[in-house]
Amino acid sequence: MIAAPFGLALAASFALVLLSGAAAAEEPHAAPKIEAQSWSFNGPFGAYDTAQLQRGYGVYKQVCANCHSMRLLSYRNLGEKGGPQFSPEAVKALSEEIQVTDGPNDKGEMYQRPGRPSDRFRSPYANDEAARAANRGALPPDLSVMAKARPGGPDYIYALLTGYKDAPHGFELAQGMQYNVAFPGHQIAMPPPLIDGVVTYADGTKPTVDNYARDVSAFLMWAAEPKLEERHMLGARVIVFLFVLAVVMFLAKRVVWSNLHAKHDAKPRLDSPIT
């Protein structure tokens, strides 16, 4: 057979591909491995834990929001179904904590007013340049879709927030940088943001870095994917519908085609599969 040596060569190349994949995983500059966490929103029936999202918002507001914007979110989103579901009063109160520049009024002047639920989350800096100036040149990224913008998503955010360690011996850490096991390259400009007890939890959850990291990661996942619950619920219905329809179509097809087979003495399948 002409093809045999060729097939062998192909198989060898294929094995080489697999081996090279394994080798690449050990390269030092490859992205660190992110451990998967168990989230309430995982799986086809997963849903957000409302209390966790509320705690997570607290962590964002008191810690992250000092440097990170979330410009795609409005205060009204905090009261929506499938989210933290704060009461309308709470949403209104949260929005009124900020001052918003509005206008111009009928005299052509800009003015300050208290925030409304329809206002976007307040950004900590007026612009990117101001953000860099306040953070030694580093730009704290917007967190609106962060949970979808990094491989691993919420698992990565959790690993990053709990990943601050002392730099291993011989690791050259640049001026003002921190060592983080989860960050690609291990040098991150953000100082460790969470300390035990820095945010007060009203619902009795232990105020630990681990819980803060977990809660704020869940909150950021919701911020990035606010329609996840709706999607899972509709998905279940669509899948069940399609499954039933598939059974009906299969039976219909069989009945239609059996008209042909019934005329034969033997029972050969005319729609024989690919050979």
Under rule CB under 8 A, residue 234 binds another protein: yes
Alpha carbon distance 102, 100 (integer Å): 6
Residue 168, preceding bond cis, omega within 30 degrees?
no
Alpha carbon distance 245, 243 (integer Å): 5
Under rule CB under 8 A, residue 89 binds another protein: no
Interface size with another protein, residues (CB under 8 A):
59
Q: What token pair was written down for 80? A: 């929506």
DSSP calls for 183-228: STTSEESS-----TTSS--TT-----HHHHHHHHHHHHHHHH-TTH
Under rule CB under 8 A, residue 17 binds another protein: yes
Among 20, 101, 118, 127, interactor with another protein by CB under 8 A: 20
Which stretch of DSSP H or E encloses residue 133? helix 128-134
Site string for another protein, 42-81 (x = CB under 8 A): --x---------------------------x----x----
Under rule CB under 8 A, residue 266 binds another protein: yes
Q: What token pair was written down for 68? A: 């990170």
In terms of CB distance, is 173 or 238 closer to another protein?
238
Under rule CB under 8 A, residue 168 binds another protein: no
Alpha carbon distance 57, 78 (integer Å): 9
Site string for another protein, 121-160 (x = CB under 8 A): --------------------x--xx--xxxx-x-------
Tokens 């698992």 correspond to 155
Contacting positions for another protein (CB under 8 A): 1-3, 6-7, 10, 13-14, 16-17, 20-21, 23-24, 44, 72, 77, 141, 144-145, 148-151, 153, 224, 226-227, 230-232, 234-236, 238-239, 242-243, 245-246, 249-250, 252-253, 256-257, 259-260, 263-266, 268, 270-275
